[in-house]
Homo-oligomer: A and B are copies of this chain.
Amino acid sequence: MSELQNDRYLRALLRQPIDKTPVWVMRQAGRYLPEYREVRAKAGDFMTLCSTPDLACEVTLQPLRRFDLDAAIIFSDILTIPDAMGLGLHFVTGEGPKFSNPIQSAADIAKLGVPDMEDNLAYVMDAIRLTRREIDGKVPLIGFSGSPWTLACYMVEGGSSKDFAKVKGMLFDAPDQMHQLLNVMADSVIAYLNAQIAAGAQSVMLFDTWGGALSTGNYQEFSLAYMQKIISGLTRESDGRTVPVTMFTKGGGQWLELMAATGADAVGLDWTTDIGSARQRVGDKVTLQGNMDPCVLYASANRVEQEVASVLASYGQGETGHVFNLGHGIHPTIEPEKMQRLVDSVHRLSEPYYR
């Protein structure tokens, strides 16, 4: 493997001194890029794109050719594990992900087992291995997984949901059953992320998209506890370097202190939380990732730069501990020029904070 040329992102996550704020963007390989839409059209459907290592590698690298990003994130979907468990993931245009065989009973849960990572999920590891070769040490590669609770939401609902009637019905009426499901998902995520690390992921991230739909007590019991279990179960080394872990619960701003106590190196913030106040609350315990409102990118490029400045000012003086990102994924209709301005502004405007 080529030596890593830009380790600003890894250093920030591990709270080591840096020269400016590293930046990457959730969904940076995505529909807002014309070259992505081209590959996506060639692939035909979304799962073909995810499961063909050549194509997944290509779209992972696309944003790096345009923008001076400090990290790449492997192109994949958060629902690969339940798909490998036999739930039959597919995508319906305009409706998002669907499972042909959702979890409907205790019997369905009892049948679930940790999938073989180099069998049904080999395409993810192959994509990581290939991307690590192709990226040639330019920036680190991030691996990721959905959180057990978030995966359970899709598995029980059979797809996206507005009100989480089924999965919360199970949580409230059959908590033991829910814990059984979350346990097998946590074990699977541990195996999945460890396999990604073995394949070359230099940092990993847990996406807890639906933890914010829970009450504080239920968040701790049904989402956070399993993320903590995962963090404890990870092999945290690759190429002789520590592999940092980032945890992101959308809508979790009320629970920062709880997240900072899990052993995660970094906590992702959505844009509703003031990053300066967040820093005061968690101190030096974790690095903070975030957190510009993705909708700022609908405004002019000058306005984007202004808002970058405001997030940097809110975080305040370095010397480390901040990874710039949006508070959620970049939207598909954003013009790439706005992303350009975002990335460039972060680097240019953050330098003074590290002097």
A20-28, A107-115, A296-304, A345-353 - the one binding chain B: A296-304
Task: Please give the distance in Å from A279's CB to the nearest CB on chain B.
Answer: 13
Question: Counting CB contacts under 8 A, is A212 at the interface?
Answer: yes
Given A293-B168, A295-B164, A298-B165, A215 contacting B254 (CB threshold 8 A): no
A41-49, A187-195, A266-274 - the one binding chain B: A266-274
Which residues of chain A (326-348) have a CB below 8 Å from chain B?
327, 331, 333
Which residues of chain A (113-138) have a CB below 8 Å from chain B?
none
Which residues of chain A (257-271) have a CB below 8 Å from chain B?
271
Given A272-B216, A293-B215, A299-B173, A163 contacting B307 (CB threshold 8 A): no
Give chain B residues whose Cβ lies under 8 Å from the Cβ of A166: 298
Question: Counting CB contacts under 8 A, is A251 at the interface?
Answer: yes
The answer to whether A295 touches B212 (Cβ under 8 A) is no
Interface-central residue, A163, A216, A307, by most chain B CB under 10 Å: A216
The answer to whether B272 touches A212 (Cβ under 8 A) is yes
A97 to B272 alpha-carbon distance, docked (Å): 26
Question: Counting CB contacts under 8 A, is A321 at the interface?
Answer: no
Interface-central residue, A168, A253, A294, A295, by most chain B CB under 10 Å: A295
Measuring CB to CB, which residues of chain A are less than 8 angstroms from any residue of chain B?
163-166, 168-169, 172-173, 212-219, 251, 253-254, 271-274, 277, 293-296, 298-300, 303, 307, 310, 327, 331, 333
The answer to whether A172 touches B212 (Cβ under 8 A) is no
A213 to B271 alpha-carbon distance, docked (Å): 9
The answer to whether B295 touches A163 (Cβ under 8 A) is yes
A327 to B212 alpha-carbon distance, docked (Å): 13
Give chain B residues whose Cβ lies under 8 Å from the Cβ of A169: 295, 298-299
Given contacts A165-B295, A254-B272, 13 further A-B contacts (CB under 8 A): A163-B294, A168-B295, A168-B298, A172-B299, A172-B303, A172-B307, A214-B272, A216-B272, A216-B273, A217-B310, A218-B293, A254-B254, A254-B273
Give chain B residues whose Cβ lies under 8 Å from the Cβ of A217: 274, 310
A307 to B172 alpha-carbon distance, docked (Å): 9
Task: Please give the distance in Å from A269's CB to the nearest CB on chain B.
Answer: 10
Give chain B residues whose Cβ lies under 8 Å from the Cβ of A214: 272, 293
A271 to B165 alpha-carbon distance, docked (Å): 15
